[in-house]
Structure formats: C-alpha cells, structure tokens
Structure 1
Amino acid sequence: MVIQMILFVSITTGVAVFLLIFMLFVRRSSTRYQVRNRVQGLQAVDIMQTGKMYQEQRPHRSLRISLLRIWDWIMFIVGNRVKAMTPQALYRALDQRITWAGKQYIWNAGTFFFVMVLCGTGMVVLSLGFIFTDVLPLMQRLMIVLVMFFCGMFLPWFCLSVMITKRRQGINAQLSDMMDLVCVSVQAGLSFDAALTKVGERMKGPMADETNRMLRDVRMGMTRRQSLTAMANRCHVDSVYLFVAAVIQTESLGVSLANMLKIQADNMRDRHRQMIREKAMKLPVKLVFPLAFFIFPTIFIVVLGPLVLTVLTQLKGNF
C-alpha cells in the first residue's frame, strides 16, 4: 500500500510539473501567436513596473498586500498561457459568464479554467484515503477519482452561476428605481446622457456600474446604439434588453424620449411587482422541503415518542 501511494504521488507530481512547464515555456511558431505573446509580456512588465512604483510610494505596506500582488501577477501569467491551450468554445463560454458576473476586470477565462483544474486536483488529493484502500476494487477507485475531479471542477462554475444569479436579481431590483429617476430627470429638462450621469452618481449597484461604463464608452467614441447594446449583452437581463430596444427604436423613429421613458418606467414597475408576486407564490412550494425533512420528523418524535415507549414497555413486560 505504501508503494502504491508513493507511485501515485510521484506520477501526479510528474504530470503536474510537466503541464506547468508545457504551459509556461511552450511557444508556437505563428506570427500572430508571437505578437500576442509580446503584447502579454509588455503588459506583464507594465504590471511589474506599476507594482514597483506602488512599492516606492508606500514602503510600509503589509505582507498580505504583497502576497496578493504576487498571486495576481502569477495568475495573470498562467492565465495567459492557459488561454492559448483552452478550446475556443470553452474560453468564450467562460469569458461570457465572467462578464455576466461583472468580474471581467478582475478575472480571466484562462485563470478561471486554471482554478477549476486546481479545485479538481484538490478534490482528488482529498480522496486519497478512499483511493489507497484495499477494500475497494480498481474500477471503483478510478470512478471515485473521476467523480471527485469533476465535482471539484464544477465547484467554481457553481459559484460563478450563483454570482450571476445574484447580479441579475440586483439589476432587476434596481432597474425600476433607475428608470423612475431617469424619467423624472428627462422631464425636468436634462438630456438622456446627463440623466444617466446623474443616476450613476447617486445610485450604487450593478446597474449603476453598467450605466457608468456605457457612458464611458460613449465618451471614448462609441455610438449610443453600440454602447447600449454592449450594456445589454453584459447584463443579460430581459428588462435591460427591452429598455435598450425601446431607446434605440425611439432614436430611429424620432419619438419623444420623455414619453417613452415614462412608459418604460411604468412597465418596469409592473414587471418588478409581478416578479415579487411570483416569488411570493413560489414560497409555499419551497416550504415543503424544510417541513418534510426538519419539522415533521420532530413533530412525529414528540407526538409518537411516548406512545412508542409505552408500547415497548408493555411488550417487554409481557414477554
């Protein structure tokens, strides 16, 4: 058993070292890949220079901040290497979901995939006690390894899905209030961009952040149609899609913007009210599971427990 454990650890370490060397040092001969590597190298140098300037400005920073910066730099380099090896379909899906979660400035699809692989490997390491037991056959051990690996890879994906769901709920909850403020601001005489700027300054949350980014895109040279469409794609919420489509159609047809915003504000308020009613209707169904698994067994123990004890005592006295 000790020999098997040493052999398994040696093979796992060798494979991990080989993959790390392959990710960090393998190059492709294409010109496009070389140019991309050069740009990524310059970005890494820029990050290192920024870190040095920050260190010169604040020489007494804590050890935790230093370790976090080193970790960010390592994950940036590794994430760019993993990006070249990740399938394009998986990379686009991860990049899109990271954008929906609002973490596109913090995470990278390659880094996230690398974290998924690390979580899968960590789950396999935690299951070593089941792998090196002589009770289970070889096929069951392999199945345990595969199941634990895929469970570990699914854990970051699940956390990302939870973040996307919470962000969508925050956007839906904030959109109706934002529409009311924009409508009042436009009716007071402000332009559409000025109204959105005021809303972005006064409100905090995911919808306000997306509005501020849309305004920055407009200032950088994008058209309003393109910036609004990009904002809707980043939010990935039906209400935002409806709002963006209404604004684009209003600009195309020359309809009054104030009337359109008033109609959209009423529509968003009704949709938000219907969403709250839908959640209230789902509550009794969701309460069935806590009742069945936690409350009913306790009631049965309290009600039927003395009766069962009495019956057992009488049976014991008779026999």
Structure 2
Amino acid sequence: MTPDSTALEARRHSHVFDEGNPLAERNTRWVVWLTATMMVAEITGGWVFNSMALLADGWHMSSHAFALGLSVLAYWAARRFAQDPRFAFGTWKIEILGGYTSALFLVVVAGFMVYHSVERLLAPMPIHYDQAIGIAVLGLVVNLVCAWLLRDGHGHHHHHDGHGHHDQHHDLNLRAAYLHVLADAATSLFAIVALFGGKLWGAAWLDPVMGLVGAALVSIWAYGLLRDTSRVLIDAEMDRPVVAEVREVVAKLPVKAAIADLHVWRVGRDKYACILSLVVTEALEPDSVRQALSIHEELVHITVEVNRHPLY
C-alpha cells in the first residue's frame, strides 16, 4: 500500500451512521403477532355473535397489523442494505419511510372510524353488549401489553456534548408502531365506555359518538407523525439546534470567515451530515474547521470547503 493510498484509506469512513434498534425490532415483531391474533379473534367473534361492532373493530385492527408489519419490514430492510453502496448516506431513512407510511395508515384508520360512526348514528344497529364488552376488554389488555413492549426508546430526550441543549431523537419507526397500538387501545377503551353506557342506560348513541372521539384523537397523532417524518424525509431540518452550533463554531474561528453555503441534514436518529463552504481573508485549513466542528458529536459526516478572497 502506497503512502497516498494509506492517506486515502484514513480519509474513508463508514456510511452506517445509525446502529439500528434490535430491541425495538424484536418487540415490534411480537406486537405484530399479538395484533394479528387479536384481529382474527375479533373478526371470528363478530361473525359468531353477529356483532357489527366487533367485525368493524377487527377489520380496523387489520390495518394496524399491516402497518406494524411495515415497521418490522423497515427495520429489516435498513439492516439488510446497511452496507449497500447505492445508499449515499446509509439506510436509516428506510425506517423513517416506514414511519411515514404507517402514519398514512393512521389517517385511513381515522377515516374508517368516522365513516362507520356516522353510519351508526344515522342507522343504529342492535348490539350484543355482553360478548362485545368481553372482546373489547380482551382487546384493551392485548393493546396495553403491546404498548408496554414498545415503550423502550419511545419519546425520550438526550443531552448532547455538555452544551446543555436537548435534542429529540425518537425512533420514528418505533413511534409509528407505538401510535398504532395506542390508537387500538383508545378505540377499545372508548368502545368499553360506550358499550357499558348502552347496556346500563340504553344510550346506544354513545358507541358512534365515542368512535368519532377516537377518530379525532387518531387524526391528531397521525398529523404529528406525518409532520415529523416528512421533515426528515425532505431534509427540512435547518432549524435544528445543531445548525446554530455550526454557525457558532464558524464565528469563533481564528480568522474572519463568512458562510457561503451550509447544508445540514439527518442521517441517523441523532446524527447529522454537514456541508460547509466558507469565504476567508487569510489562509485556513479545512481540517482545522472540521476539527472545530467535531466537538459536536452529532455531526458525523462533515465536508468543508474554504475559499480565500482578499476583498472579503
């Protein structure tokens, strides 16, 4: 190996910026099986007890099972193609794409709930309360177990390099799975309240009204997930704290420097790539800028261009 090739090898680095989430992947796989089993139980119960409420909830749960399966598929694909050179900045965004697609399914679920709730308001149907309550309670228990399985790593904050700011770095694919489970749990809880209301006080209208409340809640969750995942997918994160940190580093350089171009985008849960172009009045080595930026551990792929301009 020549000195030149040795220097080149030293410059090369891995484009696997995210270590994956094996615990979340395994737990999501368990949740898929539990959800699919509960889906079959509800659809079977709906046919046996002639309950439209259970049938509707069973088919509604099928969309969750499909979306949760997508989450597992996204984890697998990100791991499977981690070393594929076609992915310029790694495969982490496959997980984000999974979360985004899953959020779209939440929108479909909300629409499904609205449609059937309005249908029931306009044309009420007799409900087999005892059987429906029993299966709804079982559904809630299953969903709470699933939520417990998916709780790890969901929605926590993390300190960065001693500078005191917080940066959210959810696993958005896990969050999507978690929200599908919460949507199911909310649906089961609202169904139990509505079914008891109908059984004890004859308030059959509670069932479709609770369905509308659940649809509104699911829509809010879906909106938040679509917003967060789409921002990552289209690289609309130039308002993140790390961008301000890059500007602070440039302001503290030993020579007068102006930012001609700056691009920062996410390549992992709390990892960012950065392209920085500077105009300076005196000689400045790009390596010294890279070294100054490296104090921020979330910057894992830094490209620096320095242009000297005596009139600046």
After TM superposition, the score normalised by the length of structure 1 is 0.33
Q: Whose Rg is larger?
A: 1
Higher RCO (CA-CA < 8 Å; seq separation 6+):
2
After TM superposition, the score normalised by the length of structure 2 is 0.34
> Between Structure 1 and Structure 2, which shows a larger proportion of helix residues?
1
> Between Structure 1 and Structure 2, which shows a larger proportion of strand residues?
2
